[in-house]
Amino acid sequence: MCLAIPGKIVELDPGQPHLGTVEVTGVRRKVDLGLLQEEMPVIGDWVLIHVGFAMTKISEQDALEQMHLLTMLGETEQAMEEVRGYGLEQRGGP
Amino acid sequence: MAHGAGGKASRRLVEGLFAPLLFESTRAPLGDAAHVRIDGSRIAITTDSFVVKPLKFPGGSIGELAVNGTMNDLAVSGAKGQAMVVTFVLEEGLPTSVLEGEVRAMAAALHKAGVTMVGGDTKVVERGKADGMYITTTAIGCLMSQVTIDTQSVRPGDKILLSGPIGDHGITILLARGELDLAADLSSDTRCVLQLVEAMVEQAGPGVRWMRDPTRGGVATSLNELARDCGLGIALREEEIPMRDEVRGACELLGLDPLHIANEGQFLAVVAPEYADAALNALHQTEGGEDALIIGEVRAEPACAVLVTTRYGGSRIVDMLVGDPLPRIC
Amino acid sequence: MRYVDEFRDPELITKASDEIHRLAASGKHYRIMEVCGGHTHAIYRFGLKDILPSNIELIHGPGCPVCVLPMGRIDDGLAVAKNGDVIFAAFGDMMRVPGTHGSPFEHKARGTDVRIVYSPADALQLARRHPDKHVMFFAIGFETTAPSTALTLMRAKAESVKNFSVFCNHVTIIPAIRAILDSPDMRLDGFIGPGHVSTVIGCRPYEWIARNEGKPVVTSGFEPLDLLQSIVMLLRQLQAGQARVENQYKRVVPWEGNRAALKAMAEVFQLRPYFEWRGLGFISQSALKIRDEYAEWDAEQRFQISGTRVTDPKAAQCGEVLKGVLKPAQCKLFGKECTPERPIGALMVSTEGSCAAYYNYEHRKAAALVTSIGSVA
C-alpha cells in the first residue's frame, strides 16, 4: 500500500518550521515535516512523501550502493563461468 | 456523474440509450462528427458542450475550449470547420466582466481557427445551476478530399501517431481547482489542430485511416474505442509516450495514469506504414507539430484491447476510463 | 525523475530478471507473498509477471487497507455525513468503495457533501476554512498513514479546531501477516515485506516470521528493480536454507523505524482489543482507536457511532482472495457480477486490490487472447 514519492526540499519557512515545500519534477507541494523532527531536513535533501507528510530522508549513499549491487548482478556468476571455461576445474579435462 | 467523464459509462449512455432511439438511421460506429449528404454535397457537422470548473485556467478558458474543441472534432473526422453557432447557458449573477472575457476569448480563438460564428442563443438559469456558464458549440464544414476516415480500413502494421505531449490540460485543471494544493508551471494545451491535420492530410492523406482528439478519458479511452470498433489490438511503447515532467510528477504524486488524462490540443492518427514518415515530416514542418511522434502500432492481437509494453518486456492492458481519474494514496 | 527512473533502468531490469531465471532454474516451485497492496499494483503496472519464470508464483497478500475495511464501517461513516452540516473527507481510494446504500461518490450524487483530500492535513484545512461545518476525516491505512493522522489530530488539538474529527480505521500489518501464516490452506516460502509501512515500524517486527516460522522476509521498494532485487535476495536465502529479515529498501527504510512517527502514534492512538477485517474475521490487537485525551476529535465518540456489522454477499469470496487462498479469477463472481465498474467487494474497487489489479491487467490480456485465437481459428 502506500503511494510514496521521492521529492526534493526546495523551500523552508522559518516562521513555520514544521512545513516545507518539496518539488517532484516541477510539481511543488507543501509537506508536513513533523515526522522528521528528530533529524530535520535541509534544502536540497530528498524525502519520501506520503499523503502530504515527509516520512523519511532518502539516503543517496544507500541508493548508490543499491545501484552498484544491481549492476554487479550476475557478474560473479559470469566470472565463475569464465573460470570454468578455462577448464581449470579438472572435470574430465579437454 | 461517471457518465460524463468520457469513458465506459459515457459510451454505455450513448450506445445504450441515445443511439437506438435517436440515431436509428446511422449504422456506422459513432465518431466525433457526422458526415451527411445534403442535396448531393457531403457536409460534416458536430456539436459539443463545454462544462469546466474553474472557467478560466492557465493556458485558456471555457470559451477557447468551446471553439477549439468543436473545430478539432471536425478536423479529426477529416473536415474543415467553416461556420459555427453557439449557445450559452448562463448562471444568474455571473459577472458581466466574466462573460465578456469569455466572448473575447472566443473571438480570438475563432479568428485563429479561421472559422466564423454565424449565430447563437443565450439562456439564463437560476443561481446555483450552470457552474457560472455552460457553452455548446455546433459547427459545419466541408470534407477534406484527400482523406477518408474509416475504422474498417485499419490494418495490422498501421502506425499510431500522436501530435504532442499528453496530460497538460487535465492536470492543469486539476491543479487549478486548488483542492490538492499542488503548484506547477503547467498550462492547458487547448488549441485548434486543423492546420496540423490539414498539413498531414496533404502529404499523407491516402494513408490516414483514422483520427481522434483524446479529450476526456485520454489517449487510453480513444484508442480503446478504436480497438473495439475495428476489432484489432493496439500496442503502445511506454517509453515513447511523451509528457512534460510536471505532468509525470503530478501523476506519480497522485497515482494517476497519464493515459487517462484529458487533452485539448492533441490528436491521434492511424497511418499506413508507407505513409508514416510523410505524415510525421508534414507535422514536424508545421508550427505546433514539432513534437509529433509514433507511439505504437496496430496488431492483430490482443484484439479489441490496448497493450502498453516496456523496453524490458513487461506489459499491461490499459482500459477505458471508468468514472473520473481519482487521486489515490495506496 | 530522481530516485525513480534509475530503478526502472531497462538494462538492469533485464539483468535482474536473468539472475532470477538462473537462480530459479532448478524448477522448484516457489510461492512468495507480497503483503502490500502497493507491491501488487507495482507488479502488475510494470508487467513484472511477464519477466519472471513460471515457477515463481507471486501471491497477493492482504495489505490493502481499503480491501480489508468491512462495509459496515463505510455505512457508519456515511451515516454521519447524512447530516447536512457535515463534510465527509476521504482519500480518492475510498470514493467508489461500495457501502450497503452506495459508495461515497453515489452519496455525493444524492446530496451528501463528500470531498476528496490528498492528505489528512488538507481535511483539517477544510475545517479551518468552513467554521460553519463539521469536517469528518474518514481515515484509512496501515502504519504508513497512521502517523500522519496522529500528527494532524495533535495539530487540531493544539489549535483547538473544534469542527474537526477523525473516523479512525487504521489497522496494523503484523496481525494480518500472522492471520495468513495461521491459515491452514496457506503454503508460502517467503515474503516480500511491506516497503512503506517499514519506514515507520522498521524491520524488527518481522523477525518472528523468520525465527519462528522459518520464512525469509525482504522488505522491498516499489520500483521494478526493487521488487526484482528483493526476489533475488529471497531466492538466495531459500537456496541457502536461510530465513532472515533483509532490508532491500535501505535508501528509505531505517532498520529501527521512525521514532518520531511511532511516538506520535502512541500519543494519539491505542490498540483496539479486536477489530473486524473483511475476509479475515475478528483479529485481536489489530487496529487503532483514538485515545480518550483526543475524544473530542474522535468521530466514533462525538457521533456515537454504534458499529454496524454488515455481512458480505454470500457469493463473494473476498476473504479467500485476501488470504491468497483463491486467485481472483477463481471467485465465482469475478468478471461477471463483480467488475471494476460494478464492484461487489472492495478488492475490485481499490486500485491495489488483487481483483482490480488482476482484472485490469491480466484478465483482459487473457480474454483478448482468447478472442484473438477464436477469431483466427
Report yes or no on B16 lying in a domain: no
**Number of domains composing chain B:** 2
The verdict on a CB contact (< 8 Å) between A63 and C6 is yes
| CB < 8 Å from C in window 51-70 of A | 51-53, 55-56, 58-60, 62-63, 65-67, 69-70
Question: What class, spelled out in words, does domain C1-315 have in CATH?
Answer: alpha beta
Task: Give the closest-approach CA distance of B175 to chain A in angstroms.
Answer: 10
Task: Give the closest-approach CA distance of C362 to chain B in angstroms.
Answer: 7
Q: Are B133 and B261 found together in one domain? A: no
Report yes or no on B327 lying in a domain: no
Chains contacting A (3+ CB pairs below 8 angstroms): B, C
Q: Are B130 and B213 found together in one domain? A: no
- Could you say which of B303, B310, B323 has the minimum Cβ distance to residue C10? B310
Report yes or no on B307 lying in a domain: yes
Task: Give the closest-approach CA distance of A1 to chain B in angstroms.
Answer: 5
The domain of B277 spans 151-317
Chain-centre distance of CA B68, in angstroms? 10
At B110, which CATH number?
A: 3.30.1330.10
Q: Are B301 and B193 found together in one domain? A: yes
The three three-digit cell numbers of residue C373, written as one number: 485465437
**In chain C, which residues fall in CATH 3.40.50.11740?**
1-315
Chain C residues lying within 8 Å of A70, measured CB to CB: 12, 15-16, 225, 229
Q: What secondary structure does DSSP assign to B100-146, as a single string?
A: HHHHHHHHHHHHHHT-EEEEEEEEEE-TTSTTSEEEEEEEEEEEPTT
| Pairing status of strand B306-309 against strand B233-237 | parallel
Please tell me whether the interface predicted TM-score (ipTM) of this complex is above 0.85: yes
Chain C residues lying within 8 Å of B326, measured CB to CB: 92-93, 95-96, 116
At B194, which CATH number?
A: 3.90.650.10
Q: Mutate one of A27, A30, A50 to test the B interface: name it (highest B CB count within 10 A).
A: A27
The set of residues, in sequence order, having a beta carbon less than 8 Å from that of C151 and lying 6+ positions away, is A32, A34, A35, A53, C264
The three three-digit cell numbers of residue C200, written as one number: 515507520
Q: Are B215 and B298 found together in one domain? A: yes
Q: Would you call A76 an interface residue with chain C, using a CB distance cutoff of 8 Å?
A: no
* CA atoms of B86 and B100, how far apart (whole Å): 15
Question: Could you check whether the bond before residue C104 is cis, i.e. omega within 30 degrees of 0?
Answer: no
Report yes or no on B23 lying in a domain: no
Local confidence pLDDT in tens for the 377 residues of chain C: 788 888 999 899 999 999 999 999 988 999 999 999 899 989 988 889 889 999 999 998 888 999 889 889 999 999 999 988 999 999 998 998 888 898 999 999 999 999 999 999 999 999 999 999 999 999 999 999 999 999 999 999 999 999 999 999 999 999 999 988 988 878 899 999 999 999 999 999 999 999 999 999 999 999 999 999 999 999 999 999 999 999 999 999 999 999 999 999 999 999 999 999 987 889 999 999 999 999 999 999 999 888 888 877 778 888 888 878 888 989 999 989 998 878 887 788 777 788 988 887 777 666 655 544 443 43
Q: Would you call A74 an interface residue with chain C, using a CB distance cutoff of 8 Å?
A: yes
The verdict on a CB contact (< 8 Å) between C115 and B304 is no
| Pairing status of strand C30-36 against strand C56-63 | parallel
Q: Would you call A17 an interface residue with chain C, using a CB distance cutoff of 8 Å?
A: no
Which chain C residue has the Cα nearest residue B250? C1
Q: Which domains does chain A carry?
A: 5-80 (2.30.30.140)
Task: Give the closest-approach CA distance of C241 to chain B in angstroms.
Answer: 30
